[in-house]
Structure 1
Amino acid sequence: MVVRGGGWTVQSRWTNHTRELPKMEFGYFAQCFVPDFGYENDPDWEAQRIRDNLEISQLCDRNGFKYIWASEHHFLREYSHMSSPEVFLSAVASTTENVHLGSAIFNITAPVNHPVRSAERAAMIDILSNGRFELGTGRGSSSTEVMGFGMPGTPRNPATGLADTEITRGLWDEAIAQIPHMWREGAYSYEGDSFSMPPREIFPKPVTKPHPPLWVACGSPGTFEKAGKLGIGVLCFTIGTPDEIAPLIEIYKNEVASCKTPVGDYVHDNVMCVGFGICLDDREVAIDLATRSHMYYYQCLVYRWLDTFPKPDGIPEWPAVIPEPTHEDVRAAIEGGSLCVGNVEDCIHVSRQYERVGADQYVISPLTSTLPMEVVRETIVNFGKHVIPVIDTDPVHRSTRQRQAALAATG
């Protein structure tokens, strides 16, 4: 793979032919990390963190970011208090003009959210945002969430006492296949394993034609492969360096290139990767802030709650946490291209590493930390002025180009 002009040239190992693609896009991830110790100075801490994410989303819209993503999590204290992404994204829609609004994710399994309700909510946001919504989907990321909604037939593993979340695979498979049908004209009916519907016409209809782009959260080789076979975008939530993620992206790209029967009405070839971000004029100040911003505390919460993630060696049992990184650790991660911290040159360097391995979108999440808001604001402005213009030279969203090309091909 090489860079040529304004886009990637992707060689035959990923596609059956060479084609030009837009360069990598940028987004912001609203996770709503609410560490308990924040209440010591602010009794309104949880509400303020939600408002802070809204403010940064609005700032991203004014500074060239193309996406705002909002997670859906339930019952995961500190890690994420973003339980209603449809409400948050509606607020973002009403106060922005250009960014696309992505759910990362809507849990579309029937016991959590009836698939028809997910289709209705997605269409409503799409209308209110004038066609800027993209539907990222998933099935829940922990036994705490799955069991919290009384998932039927979900046994517990006797060795761990945790729920066996494998049942959710089939629930997601069933829902994702049906949602595109719900957006079409005329009555919809369905008789399935996890939900059924008598003939009903579902309103409203999305203004995005033929429908909003579809995505799925992926963390293992099997889910990357499945996403490619279904012809939908990947929300890459695997933890690792760009080079560690590269084989997973390649699995997806190989499959999506040969997808002939996508689950939606068109193939949506797109990979989004998430990382941290501090971009300041002074590199050493950025590095110092990274050592005391509770990045690793947040990462320990990942392993506290998301028991579907394999736990690496060296991660202690909660409430023990790993020490925050040293200045040397941060510098090594910057040089290795895995931590987007430093000055403009550092952030371009790290962004290029994700671009190099085939990511179509790089999303920063500086509020998955305790960085001061003025630092987060400066980071967003510096990305908008100095990083994004170097890498993303296409004013049109990649997903829009693919959707429009599919519409043109079908007449």
Structure 2
Amino acid sequence: MKDVVPSKFAFGIFDHLDEDGRDTARQYADRLVLAEAYDRLGFYAYHVAEHHCTPHGRGPSPNLFLSSLAQRTRQLRLGPLVMLLNLYHPLRAFEEICMLDHLSGGRLEVGIGRGSLPLELGYFGITADAAPSRYQEASEILINAMKGGTLSYHGHHFELNSVPLTLTTHQRPKPPLWIATNRPESAAWAAANGANLACVGPSSAIRTVADAFRAHRGTNGDAGDQTPLVGLLRMIVIARSNSDAYTLAASAYTQWLKSFKFLYELNAIPTPPNLPLTFDAAIESELCVVGTPDAVKQSLLNHLEEAGANYLLCQLAFGNLPLDASLCTATAIQSEIMGGLGQR
């Protein structure tokens, strides 16, 4: 197992920006305070999800939020995870990416995807049947645009004729790419395009994805020389005692779960079969890791090694967790875990 897991790991932040039960402006302000702390503590990157028409995401325009975050931080990398390309014209998406990469001084990490819930796309008139081919075209156009020059493309959904690309990204040849997936078959695209992976689920299941990804990269000459990041997402709460951590996390997960289920219940459709419907189930499925620093450290190390992952995506703010609880967990990860597991 350890032959494919680096001796050092990277630590990043993932955020749904799900509703915390308080004023929206206050929540944005608190997240910016957290981002400043993540920057000081040495986390690698801040990744934010994109959701629409649901309390599961108060950041429907992730690039807008991240442009503010970029001005409050200096070293922390940042990016959408993922930018729902089905809801953008790919040329507009490219121009926003260029702007954000320059505004952040070249700290952008670009996550792209088509969206996990067709209902959200449907509110914008994108049907479930059209979504896969529309996303495929949009991703091709976006990646071609990052090469610079003039852009032409003739597809079913988009047609571009000798478009002059007067903007370029700050990072050359392009910012790091990400996709979020739990499917081994997506590994081939990620490997071919030099993208990093973000995964959520039990470690044993993620190992299958990680192994497929590395196998494809090993046979792909265009994947690039930089070691890719295989990210493992965990919701983490650390406190002085296991019982304190459990109490905080249980309440927060209940609030998070309510937001997650909002559109499913509103439209009377079943929730995903792998969604833990109780906090105890979330712990059992490895989605949530809570407890004292020592207990959490050992659990996370076991998860990373079993999954074959080298990047821990820490979800430290979710549901109704108080700001000070998230700050406490972030500080504990920096002081008690980063050094022990090794920071990249």
Matched, 1:84 2:61: yes
Higher helix share: 2
Aligned residue runs from structure 1 range 1-12, under 5 A = 1-2=1-2, 9-10=3-4
Return the alpha-carbon distance in structure 2 between the equivalents of residues 303 and 368 of structure 1. Answer: 14
Give the C-alpha shift of residue 180 in structure 1.
2.8
Aligned mate of 1:289, from 248, 252, 265: 248
Aligned mate of 1:54, from 22, 29, 32: 32
Give the match for residue 381 of structure 1.
331
Return the alpha-carbon distance in structure 1 between the equivalents of residues 90 and 304 of structure 2. Answer: 34
Return the alpha-carbon distance in structure 1 between the equivalents of residues 180 and 295 of structure 2. Answer: 28
Closer, same or farther in 2 for the Cα pair 1:258/1:301, shift >3 Å?
farther
Counterpart of 2:272, as a letter, is K
Give the match for residue 70 of structure 1.
48
Q: What is the TM-score with the length of structure 1 in the denominator? A: 0.75
Q: Which has the higher contact order (CA 8 A, sep 6+)?
A: 2
Matched, 1:196 2:159: yes
Counterpart of 1:276, as a letter, is M
Cα offsets for 1:317-359 (capped at 9, x unmatched)? xxxxx5544xxx78x74xx865321111122112212320211
SS in 2 for 1:276: strand
Work out the number of aligned pairs and report it: 340
Give the match for residue 181 of structure 2.
218
Counterpart of 1:33, as a letter, is D
Gaps of 5+ in 1: 3-8, 11-19, 155-164, 316-321, 395-411
Aligned mate of 1:183, from 146, 167, 170: 146
Return the alpha-carbon distance in structure 1 between the equivalents of residues 206 and 51 of structure 2. Answer: 24
Give the match for residue 368 of structure 1.
318
SS in 1 for 2:17: coil
| Further displaced range: 295-304 or 176-185 | 295-304
Aligned residue runs from structure 1 range 136-147, under 5 A = 136-147=111-122
Give the match for residue 302 of structure 1.
260
Closer, same or farther in 2 for the Cα pair 1:385/1:52, shift >3 Å?
same
Cα offsets for 1:166-209 (capped at 9, x unmatched)? 53222222222222321334222222221122212223211211
- Does structure 1 retain, via aligned residues, the 8 Å contact 2:42–2:334? yes
Return the alpha-carbon distance in structure 2 between the equivalents of residues 352 and 182 of structure 1. Answer: 39
Give the C-alpha shift of residue 67 in structure 1.
0.8
Give the C-alpha shift of residue 303 in structure 1.
4.7
Cα offsets for 1:388-411 (capped at 9, x unmatched)? 1222333xxxxxxxxxxxxxxxxx
Return the alpha-carbon distance in structure 1 between the equivalents of residues 206 and 59 of structure 2. Answer: 26
Q: Percent identity?
A: 23
Aligned mate of 1:250, from 203, 206, 211: 211
Q: What is the TM-score with the length of structure 2 in the denominator? A: 0.89
| Further displaced range: 215-224 or 25-34 | 215-224
Cα offsets for 1:221-260 (capped at 9, x unmatched)? 3323432344321122x4x321232222222222222223
- Does structure 1 retain, via aligned residues, the 8 Å contact 2:47–2:80? yes
- Does structure 2 retain, via aligned residues, the 8 Å contact 1:229–1:256? yes
Aligned residue runs from structure 1 range 9-408, under 5 A = 9-10=3-4, 21=6, 23-34=8-19, 38=21, 42=22, 45-76=23-54, 78-109=55-86, 112-151=87-126, 154=127, 165-236=128-199, 238=200, 240-262=201-223, 269-293=228-252, 295-299=253-257, 301-305=259-263, 311-312=272-273, 322-325=277-280, 333=284, 339-356=288-305, 357-394=307-344
Return the alpha-carbon distance in structure 2 between the equivalents of residues 314 and 269 of structure 1. Answer: 28
Closer, same or farther in 2 for the Cα pair 1:195/1:314, shift >3 Å?
closer
